[in-house]
A and B are shown apart, each in its own frame.
Chain A
Amino acid sequence: AQSVSQHNHHVILSEAASLELGCNYSYGGTVNLFWYVQYPGQHLQLLLKYFSGDPLVKGIKGFEAEFIKSKFSFNLRKPSVQWSDTAEYFCAVTGGFKTIFGAGTRLFVKA
């Protein structure tokens, strides 16, 4: 069965600090990997996705994620966070038509 594990439930950073959110998944077949973000008061929206090719994918707002197949990981990174990055971040895995989400990481960026 698919499963997704996010390492941190809450992260607090100061502006300009670097960010890395961990995500590990478990699935027996070919997967597509995603990071979604939910800003306060807004709908969930896609941040970036990996289907194939270059394992380092870039998304919106300066975010990137690296797929490491041997570690079953898809960690999200941003070199320098901004106050506006305060949000909840969800890692997700799709196998076929099923998309499974992790528990989410709440990021708070102090101005």
Chain B
Amino acid sequence: SQTIHQWPATLVQPVGSPLSLECTVEGTSNPNLYWYRQAAGRGLQLLFYSVGIGQISSEVPQNLSASRPQDRQFILSSKKLLLSDSGFYLCAWSVGTTTNEKLFFGSGTQLSVL
């Protein structure tokens, strides 16, 4: 069966420090991968998605970047965190050659930038 791993679960970082959140998927190949940020009252904001290795689509211009170095690995990064980067970050995956049929979500990372 397929599983998605996301870590760390919580993270407290000072302003200006770097960030690296990792997400890996097991039990499937060539998944579509996603990073969302969830904020109270604002739902899930799509940050990045990838339909293949090295292919990254950015949805919201901001202080973050994403990379997909391997088929089932998706990394969210920042060189210098801002206070506004605080939030709950969710990784998700789906399969589909022309569209998403269903998204499967990780357990999320609560990031606090102080």
Please give the residue numbers on chain A whose beta carbons come within 8 Å of chain B beta carbons, in ascending order. Answer: 4, 6, 9, 32, 34, 36, 43-46, 49, 51, 90, 92, 94-104
Contacts and interface: CB of A to CB of B under 8 A. Distances in A.
Interface of B: 32, 34, 36, 41-46, 49, 51, 57, 59, 90, 94, 96, 98-103, 105-107
30 contacts: A9-B41, A32-B99, A32-B100, A32-B101, A34-B102, A36-B103, A43-B105, A43-B106, A44-B90, A46-B103, A49-B101, A51-B101, A90-B44, A94-B99, A94-B100, A96-B98, A96-B99, A97-B32, A97-B94, A97-B96, A99-B34, A99-B94, A99-B103, A101-B43, A101-B44, A102-B43, A103-B42, A103-B43, A104-B43, A104-B44
Contact of B51 (A44, A46, A97): A97
B41 A103 contact: yes
Contacts of B43: 4, 6, 90, 101-104
A9 B99 CA distance: 28
